Amino acid sequence: MDSVAVMVASLIFNQLYPVTLDFFPGFSFLVAAGLSVVAAAIMLWLHFDLKGLVLGDSTITKNVKGDTNDISKEDNQVETVTTHI
C-alpha cells in the first residue's frame, strides 16, 4: 500500500504543481497538508474508537494485586491494555 501511495502521489502532484504554479505556487503543498490532516483525523478516530472497544471489553481483564484491595474494573482493564501494548 505504501508503494501504491507513493506512485499515486507522484502522478497527482507532478501534474498538479505545474498547473497551479501560475496562480498559486503553494497550492500543491496545501493539498498535501489537507490530505495529512484527513489521515490524522482518521487515525485519531480509530484510536479513540478502538480504545473504547478495548476498555469496554470485559473478557480481557485480569486480576491485578496492588497495595490495596480496592481496585476497580477500569483499573484492571487499563493495566491489561497497557501490558498488551
pLDDT digit string, tens, across residues 15-57: 999 999 999 989 999 999 999 999 999 999 999 888 877 776 6
Length of the chain measured in residues: 85
pLDDT at 80: 55
Take residue 11 and report the three cell numbers written for it: 502522478
Whole-prediction pTM: 0.55
Q: Residue 24, SS3?
A: coil
Q: Residue 68, SS3?
A: coil
Is residue 78 scored above 80 in pLDDT?
Answer: no
Is residue 59 scored above 60 in pLDDT?
Answer: no
